[in-house]
């Protein structure tokens, strides 16, 4: 898959001139900043049928063509094109077999996939302009992560509102029975998705920030704590710990790994313990409750995860969020086993989950969701993503280029772990680790 299409712009073909260096740099900056801002901001403007017209999609439709025009070319790796094609097939197979290819749910899913693909191509084109493109992406992401963490701290303290959460969903963001503490979301609707983009901020901060690296990283980690996302906090800490290990391995200084690992873990443990002890009582109580839920969930899992009566809100009565996810896991596996050939089609898994387990929800697991959507084609989507990413990471090795593979490895690790707790199938961030790995590979071996 070393083939890459480089399409010059129509203007260049007709005039025979190339875009100037300042124009290309400006285009790359616009592409990177636009892509990053889309991941941190989430506002739905209106709906057209089953398709949400959001602020980030409008921004993409405006900014990406302008960025491509300034850069003067489109770079399209065959890996991205193949992945996009298989993703569309996985979304569509069940609908096509049922002679329903114009179903609004399918059109919405494929439109979202197309927008994600275009964004991935634009970002890749920007990143391979020069070696500083990836550094620019990392630092811009960190800036957004720091600003968002400050906003989250204000929301957690009750000083700022949850700007991206409509009034009818505010009850779902409550973190305590007294109605005084809310799960902060920054400028996104879901706190768990906000935690994911902040986790990526931690990864980029560890690799691309030179001054005050620890301070910046801790501030972003504080933002993750403000979302009260157990997944985000766990993956953020594991990613932080993984960075020195990957760096030592890349630099061939394996003997330093135990000491670096011990120092990193000890420092994180001390800071988190101090932060917990000096946090407000409401925050400590909710954190204790979230940890206790995990313990109860283990007992629930050991008992075979039995179904419970369904309440008016389409959720099992008496289940914590952790227990509900265990129930959804069991039900989703059943849906996959019954529809393993072609799946059930894009946006349809919640209907099948409700029919089997009574809970109208997604799987909260990207892998299971993709298997439910496309069956064997969904499995191929997962296999291609991992294969293309790992192959690009392996090819990124260069003589004396110890840091080329580090960010890609930790990013893929953190993203792959988060995907076990989130549905990312209809989210443009799905493309990020693959694009970063391919871009590093291209820069390492331009020919």
Per-residue pLDDT tens for 51-103?
667 777 788 888 899 999 999 889 999 999 999 999 999 999 999 999 999 99
The C-alpha atoms of residue 278 and residue 284 are separated, in whole angstroms, by 9
Per-residue pLDDT of 186-231, as tens digits, reads 999 899 999 999 999 999 999 999 888 989 999 999 999 999 888 8
Whether residue 359 lies inside any domain: the answer is no
Q: Where are the alpha helices (DSSP H) in 251-280?
A: 257-277
Residue 252 C-alpha from the chain's centroid: 30
Of residues 429, 314, 296, the one with CA closest to residue 361: 314
Sign for the pseudo-dihedral over CA of 153, 143, 53, 127: negative
pLDDT at 181: 77
Per-residue pLDDT of 111-140, as tens digits, reads 989 999 999 999 999 999 877 888 999 999
**434 pLDDT above the threshold of 90:** yes
The C-alpha atoms of residue 27 and residue 170 are separated, in whole angstroms, by 39
Q: For the chain, how many structural domains are there in total?
A: 1
Whether residue 289 lies inside any domain: the answer is no
The C-alpha atoms of residue 374 and residue 105 are separated, in whole angstroms, by 14
Asked whether 206 and 198 are in contact (CB, 8 A), the reply is no
> Which DSSP string do the residues of 387-430 spell out, in sequence order?
HHHHHHHHHT--TT-TTSSHHHHHHHHHHHHHTTTS--TT-GGG
The C-alpha atoms of residue 12 and residue 7 are separated, in whole angstroms, by 10
**How many C-beta atoms surround the C-beta of residue 409 within 10 A?**
23
**416 pLDDT above the threshold of 90:** yes
Whether residue 283 lies inside any domain: the answer is no
pTM of the model: 0.83
**283 pLDDT above the threshold of 80:** no
Range of the domain at 224: 135-278
Token readout for 418 is 């988060």
**How many C-beta atoms surround the C-beta of residue 13 within 10 A?**
10
**252 pLDDT above the threshold of 70:** no
Per-residue pLDDT of 39-49, as tens digits, reads 998 877 776 66
Token readout for 398 is 């260069």
Give CA separation, 324 vs 21, 275, 312, in Å: 54, 29, 15
Mean pLDDT over each residue of the chain, to the nearest integer: 81
pLDDT-above-90 percentage for the chain: 40
Of the pLDDT bands very low, low, confident and very high (cuts 50, 70, 90), residue 285 is low
Of residues 79, 73, 66, 74, the one with CA closest to residue 33: 66
**How many C-beta atoms surround the C-beta of residue 322 within 10 A?**
19
The C-alpha atoms of residue 421 and residue 172 are separated, in whole angstroms, by 18
The C-alpha atoms of residue 210 and residue 115 are separated, in whole angstroms, by 34
Token readout for 434 is 């693959």
Whether residue 204 lies inside any domain: the answer is yes
pLDDT at 11: 36
**402 pLDDT above the threshold of 90:** no
Of residues 424, 404, 401, 400, the one with CA closest to residue 414: 424
Backbone angles phi, psi at 206, to 5 degrees: -70, -25
* Secondary-structure percent of the chain, ordered helix, strand, coil, rounded to 5: 70, 5, 25
* Strand-pair category, 51-54 with 44-48: antiparallel
**300 pLDDT above the threshold of 90:** no
Whether residue 121 lies inside any domain: the answer is no
* Strand-pair category, 4-8 with 73-77: antiparallel
Whether residue 241 lies inside any domain: the answer is yes
The C-alpha atoms of residue 407 and residue 203 are separated, in whole angstroms, by 7
């Amino acid at each position: 898959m070393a083939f890459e299409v480089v399409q010059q712009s129509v203007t260049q073909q007709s005039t025979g001139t190339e875009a100037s260096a300042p124009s290309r740099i400006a285009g790359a900056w616009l592409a990177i900043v636009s892509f990053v801002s889309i991941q941190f901001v989430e506002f739905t403007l209106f709906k057209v049928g089953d398709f949400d017209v959001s602020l980030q999609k409008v921004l993409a439709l405006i900014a990406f063509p302008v960025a491509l025009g300034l850069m003067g070319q489109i770079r399209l790796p065959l890996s991205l094109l193949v992945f996009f094609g298989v993703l569309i097939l996985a979304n569509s197979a069940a609908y096509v077999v049922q002679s329903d290819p114009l179903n609004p749910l399918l059109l919405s899913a494929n439109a979202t996939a197309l927008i994600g693909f275009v964004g991935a191509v634009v970002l890749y084109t920007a990143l391979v302009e020069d070696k500083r493109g990836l550094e620019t992406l990392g630092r811009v992401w960190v800036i957004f992560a720091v600003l968002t963490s400050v906003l989250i701290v204000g929301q957690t303290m009750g000083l700022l509102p949850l700007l991206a959460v409509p009034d009818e969903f505010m009850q779902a963001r409550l973190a305590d029975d007294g109605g005084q503490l809310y799960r902060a979301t920054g400028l996104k609707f879901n706190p768990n998705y906000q935690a994911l983009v902040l986790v990526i901020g931690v990864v980029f901060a560890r690799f691309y920030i030179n001054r005050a690296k620890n301070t910046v990283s801790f501030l972003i980690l504080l933002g993750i704590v403000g979302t009260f996302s157990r997944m985000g906090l766990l993956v953020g800490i594991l990613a932080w710990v993984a960075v020195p290990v990957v760096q030592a391995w890349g630099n061939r200084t394996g003997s330093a790994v135990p000491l670096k690992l011990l120092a990193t873990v000890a420092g994180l443990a001390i800071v988190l313990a101090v932060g917990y002890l000096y946090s407000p009582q409401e925050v400590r109580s909710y954190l204790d409750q979230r940890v206790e839920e995990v313990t109860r969930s283990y007992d629930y899992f050991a008992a075979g995860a039995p179904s419970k009566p369904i309440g008016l809100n389409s959720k099992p009565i008496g289940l914590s969020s952790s227990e509900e996810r265990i129930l959804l896991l069991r039900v989703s596996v059943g849906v996959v086993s019954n529809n393993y050939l072609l799946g059930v089609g894009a946006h349809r898994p919640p209907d099948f989950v409700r029919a089997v387990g009574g809970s109208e929800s997604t799987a909260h697991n990207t892998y299971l969701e993709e298997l439910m959507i496309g069956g064997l084609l969904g499995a191929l989507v997962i296999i291609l993503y991992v294969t293309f990413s790992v192959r690009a990471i392996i090819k990124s090795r260069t003589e004396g280029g110890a840091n080329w593979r580090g960010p890609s490895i930790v990013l893929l690790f953190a993203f792959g772990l988060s995907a076990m707790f989130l549905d990312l199938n209809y989210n443009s961030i799905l493309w990020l680790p693959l694009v970063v790995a391919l871009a590093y590979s291209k820069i390492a071996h331009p020919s």
